[in-house]
Structure 1
Amino acid sequence: MFGLLFFILFTPGASEFICMSSDLEMSYTFCDSTPHAFTFNLTPCSTMNKPVWKAALTWIPGSDITFLKIIFQVWYNGAKALHWKEVLCSGADDEYAVCGMLKGETIATTFDIKGARIEFPKGNYKIILQGFSDESENNMVVCLNFTMIVKQDIF
């Protein structure tokens, strides 16, 4: 059993289900072929009643995290809906737990996702999350491709 879990966790291209319910289905894959030590969970698995999503992240980065730039892109039913860039770690006055982590150290954290207060229309969402260890976006340290299927409108 442990061998199967290890294989799934570290296999590039393997799809991981985050959650499935009557109104929401979420999963992710890695964008690259590099093996990653990464898990992500989300509760509750619902878009009903504007829940506050609690996310749990465990990650063992393959390089030191002294600088981290995140690019977040969202597509809704095939159309680009959001493109957001943010420097999370710059080496000075960093506020996130991931900042300053060394290659091989385990990051285990929980956080709220504010976007859970958004009323998501029924449809298919593709969310690409890329993390770079340089300003020029040449050295990618993580890339995730999330699929979110909202099964019913809540308006």
Structure 2
Amino acid sequence: MFTIIIFLIGFVPVKTKHVVCDEPNLELYYSFCGESFVTTAAMKPCVFNRQEYVNLSMTFIPRTNLDYVYAIFEVWHNSFKVSDATYPMCSGVDDDFSFCGALKGETIKLFKREHFPRLPDVKGVFTSKFRVFAGLKEEQIICIDFMLNIKE
């Protein structure tokens, strides 16, 4: 029995952590949940406070047309869900995002200069799941798990 359990554990897929930011007071990693996506993410400079602006960027290649798109963003702090929000992104009318209407297979590059004025003064580990769905069949096109550790 023990041999069978060891054998099965060997086939459990391990998520690869991709480093976005690794500083003495801050760590930010992401990994893909579900299928592998051609995605990169970056945050420069590597700070996370209320006053500082950071440059966020992401590149991906969608597997479907981006006419109707929405995102679900969930955040936990030390195993407690602190946020759960759905954001409509593309509806086909007056869309705010440049990637709306992009076709399957196009390379999408996103860039945003942002600061976090509502960031709580809470230290510890935050985990989040960012999922993006597209099309009338609501096909999941991106699924990323983030881990943020604010140390001081």
TM exceeds 0.5?
yes
Output the CA distance in 1 between the equivalents of 2:87 and 2:136. Answer: 10
Corresponding residue for residue 134 of structure 2: 133
Output the CA distance in 2 between the equivalents of 1:149 and 1:49. Answer: 16
* 2:112 pairs with 1:111: yes
Corresponding residue for residue 19 of structure 1: 21
Output the CA distance in 1 between the equivalents of 2:151 and 2:108. Answer: 32
Output the CA distance in 2 between the equivalents of 1:87 and 1:114. Answer: 21
Q: Which runs of 5+ in 2 are unaligned?
A: 1-13
Point out the structure with max Rg over C-alpha.
2
Corresponding residue for residue 147 of structure 1: 147
> Percent sequence identity over matched residues?
27
Deviations 1:76-109 (A, max 9, x none): 1110001111110011111101211111101112
Structure 1 stretch displaced more, 113-122 or 19-28: 113-122
Contact 1:59 1:107 in 2 (8 A): yes
Corresponding residue for residue 3 of structure 2: none
Output the CA distance in 1 between the equivalents of 2:51 and 2:143. Answer: 28
Structure 1 stretch displaced more, 12-21 or 80-89: 12-21
Structure 1 stretch displaced more, 42-51 or 61-70: 42-51
Query: Closer, same or farther in 2 for the Cα pair 1:114/1:70, shift >3 Å?
Result: farther
Instruction: Give runs of aligned pairs for residues 56-75 of structure 1, distance below 5 A.
Output: 56-75=57-76
Q: TM-score, normalised by structure 1?
A: 0.81
Which portions of structure 1, spanning 4 or more consecutive aligned residues, are displaced by more than 4 angstroms? none
Query: Closer, same or farther in 2 for the Cα pair 1:75/1:49, shift >3 Å?
Result: closer
Q: TM-score, normalised by structure 2?
A: 0.83
Aligned length: 139
Contact 2:124 2:149 in 1 (8 A): yes
Output the CA distance in 1 between the equivalents of 2:75 and 2:50. Answer: 22
Secondary structure of 1:115's counterpart equals: coil
Query: Closer, same or farther in 2 for the Cα pair 1:139/1:48, shift >3 Å?
Result: closer
Aligned amino acid, residue 150 of structure 1 = I
Corresponding residue for residue 41 of structure 2: 40
Instruction: Give runs of aligned pairs for residues 50-89 of structure 1, distance below 5 A.
Output: 50-89=51-90
Deviation at 1:118, TM superposition (A): 1.8
CA RMSD of aligned residues (A): 2.0
Secondary structure of 2:21's counterpart equals: strand
